[in-house]
A and B are shown apart, each in its own frame.
Chain A
């Protein structure tokens, strides 16, 4: 082999790794995760995570990539779920026998169908008009679901049995872990498809419409058509997520298509970061963890989620992924070490402050909601009496000391940040 061929080969394998490395890693991760987290609650959480990842990514096709703010995305998720539940019942009744594995496709198709119907008139404009139509449609379908009992099952919803389908390779989906692999495969396929969609000329045009729809018209594209196609694709993937939800929980109710679920998906995508493809994935993972783990420890977890959401919108509009991405320039210049000590110095007091605040909230909540006479509560394994003065003093000290130290440590953190992100010496005096 000549030298040139060797170099070419090396370049090829490098670009191959760069292109497919993350995907191989994702596939590997999805396969081995259950070996590390094998308890029931862990598998339950991971199943929910997978479903929400697909759902949040489909939502980001609208908000992040297409610039369409939707308040009714749960409609497509919920309708996909209902369709899949009905299909599972058809399978059970031998009306239409297919393996359960491909049921989510039907969920996706019903999501697509409704997206075509709604998109045909709602995608004419982005912005407030689109947001309001999506809100109206969302409320409309949610109210309809309580009226048309034959299809939606009223308040108790529709349930089904996922084990009744013909077995594929000896798997009947009686175990949650089998469903996990089903969801993992679907998640991998849909994540890849949605990523590829964002790389097509169509996906690029969606970004262009988001950034400047007037200019698009001058170039010769129809902003409406571009939005319509994004909208339909998004509805399809949301429907698939709904179908997986139906298989996982074997029940779908009105709650899965109402405004609350629409809000949750917006929350997940935004907390994760709508500007990045992986943002909604991060958001879905974080939200599911908060929902399943935090709710074990505290009753007011939704309050924390609300605070997290509002502070994300206010201080980190790029989301959690954006916060990580902020460090890439410093990382590339190998200066992350500069930030380590300042981060620790500012981080510890901040943690104290947060611990104080959440301790305050928890204690107040306990005092107000506990049964009469029950005054002991335990926080992080520490038991104390809420009706004595000591816990309150500790909380006050935590808040005051933590708050004060956080405030005093901020300038040095900012200084270190500027230092880490300062242009390299060789850049100075250049064309800048």
Chain B
């Protein structure tokens, strides 16, 4: 039991921090533009694919550096020539634009790289079990993911709270007009933050690609989950996004690891069930089975009872 909890905890934190890399960019972009970027996970996918292509020629480590930059520049271009253009039609149009962009990027990825899963692997130097605990291996690559995620988290925290750039970003978020009056180029700041957010998503894709698989559906798999995190944590709240990322990460790994079902509870209360009834699926419902729907359940419940999210201040 202890080893189960130990490994679930570790895996949950790895997943959670990875999710935070996506969620932090998304929530920053939201607090600036008031738009939830549906295509955010698509940039994560682009990161993985670009890094895969680079790794074919120059190796994993070059991809780790270059791919996020490429994705970041792409993101900045999308903001400059797409989103800013659509801005005049209003928020709904912006939301629909990012939605269409997500659709388009998936098609473009399939066009360029094909529909099959790419053989994108971790570098050989990291292909060993870091430690063995109760007979279970913990791969070094996961520790590497953990390290990168924590590094990014700390760097982000320092940049946003301790540097001049962070000061200007925060000012541009809360009082864009005032900041512009003081002589800062607010549209440029917006473009930069959008690009940075996309680069972070791209980096997440680079390190998640080998672990979770590089395939055209990877954006869809993670996309809605990241939304859940941003909304549950509170729209525009970085701290909330961090807590919610860990929460969702742990929730998912523990729900898969702990194999309890409704019938176990019923047996404990000496209730027998009819295996042929129309509700038979309800009696055999198990925790791993409902693991994929737990985040959405959480999302809907939070939105009903606390529309501002856990740490958010505003509703929309």
CB–CB B92/A263 < 8 A: no
In the complex, chain A residues whose CB is within 8 Å of the CB of B299: 132-133, 135-136
Contact A270 B316, CB 8 Å, known A143-B296, A309-B104: no
CB–CB A306/B296 < 8 A: no
Contact A313 B303, CB 8 Å, known A125-B316, A140-B293, A147-B290: no
A310 contacts which of B104, B289, B296 (Cβ < 8 Å)? B104
CB–CB B300/A136 < 8 A: yes
Q: Which residue of B lies closest to A361 (CB)?
A: B111
In the complex, chain B residues whose CB is within 8 Å of the CB of A143: 292-293, 296
CB–CB B224/A150 < 8 A: no
In the complex, chain B residues whose CB is within 8 Å of the CB of A140: 293, 296-297, 300
Complex: how many Å from CA A103 to CA B91? Answer: 39
| Nearest-Cβ distance from residue A114 to partner chain B, whole angstroms | 13
In the complex, chain B residues whose CB is within 8 Å of the CB of A267: 100, 103
CB–CB B303/A144 < 8 A: no
CB–CB B293/A139 < 8 A: yes
Contact A303 B111, CB 8 Å, known A128-B316, A129-B307, A310-B104: yes
| Nearest-Cβ distance from residue B151 to partner chain A, whole angstroms | 31
CB–CB A314/B290 < 8 A: no
CB–CB B296/A150 < 8 A: no
- B228 within 8 Å of A by Cβ? yes
In the complex, chain A residues whose CB is within 8 Å of the CB of B300: 133, 136-137, 140
CB–CB A147/B107 < 8 A: no
Q: Which residue of A lies closest to B235 (CB)?
A: A128
- A199 within 8 Å of B by Cβ? no
Q: Which residue of B lies closest to A303 (CB)?
A: B107
In the complex, chain A residues whose CB is within 8 Å of the CB of B91: 127
A133 contacts which of B92, B103, B303 (Cβ < 8 Å)? B303
Complex: how many Å from CA A309 to CA B100? Answer: 6
Complex: how many Å from CA A148 to CA B93? Answer: 36
- Residues of A262-290 at the interface with B, using a CB-CB cut-off of 8 Å, are 263, 266-267, 270
- Bin chain B's interface residue count: 35 or more
- B44 within 8 Å of A by Cβ? no
In the complex, chain A residues whose CB is within 8 Å of the CB of B101: 310
Majority secondary structure of chain A interface residues (helix, strand, loop or mixed): helix
B107 contacts which of A69, A122, A270, A302 (Cβ < 8 Å)? A302
In the complex, chain A residues whose CB is within 8 Å of the CB of B220: 259
- B36 within 8 Å of A by Cβ? yes
CB–CB B303/A129 < 8 A: yes
CB–CB A266/B111 < 8 A: no
CB–CB A263/B99 < 8 A: yes
CB–CB A147/B285 < 8 A: yes
- B175 within 8 Å of A by Cβ? no
| Nearest-Cβ distance from residue A6 to partner chain B, whole angstroms | 50
Q: Mark A358-380, 1 if CB is under 8 A from B, else 0.
A: 00010011001100000000000
Complex: how many Å from CA A303 to CA B85? Answer: 22
- Residues of B260-310 at the interface with A, using a CB-CB cut-off of 8 Å, are 278-282, 285, 289-290, 292-293, 296-297, 299-300, 303-304, 307
CB–CB A314/B82 < 8 A: yes
- B43 within 8 Å of A by Cβ? no
In the complex, chain A residues whose CB is within 8 Å of the CB of B227: 132, 135
CB–CB A314/B97 < 8 A: yes
Q: Which residue of B lies closest to A311 (CB)?
A: B100
Q: Mark A123-162, 1 if CB is under 8 A from B, else 0.
A: 0110111011101110110011001111100000000000
Instruction: Please name 22 pairs of A and B residues whose Cβ atoms are closer than 8 Å in the assembled complex, sorted by A.
Output: A69-B92, A128-B36, A132-B227, A132-B231, A133-B299, A135-B299, A136-B228, A137-B296, A139-B224, A139-B293, A139-B296, A147-B281, A266-B96, A267-B103, A270-B96, A306-B103, A309-B100, A309-B104, A310-B100, A310-B101, A313-B93, A314-B86
16 additional A-B residue pairs with CB within 8 Å, beyond A147-B293, A148-B282, A306-B108: A121-B304, A125-B307, A125-B315, A128-B95, A131-B36, A132-B231, A133-B299, A147-B281, A151-B281, A302-B107, A309-B100, A309-B103, A313-B89, A313-B97, A314-B85, A365-B111
Contact surface of A with B, Cβ cutoff 8 Å: 63, 67, 69, 71, 121-122, 124-125, 127-129, 131-133, 135-137, 139-140, 143-144, 147-151, 259, 263, 266-267, 270, 300, 302-303, 306-307, 309-310, 313-314, 317, 361, 364-365, 368-369
Shortest 9 CB-CB contacts between residues of A and residues of B: A306-B104, A136-B299, A128-B316, A143-B293, A303-B107, A140-B296, A310-B100, A136-B300, A309-B100
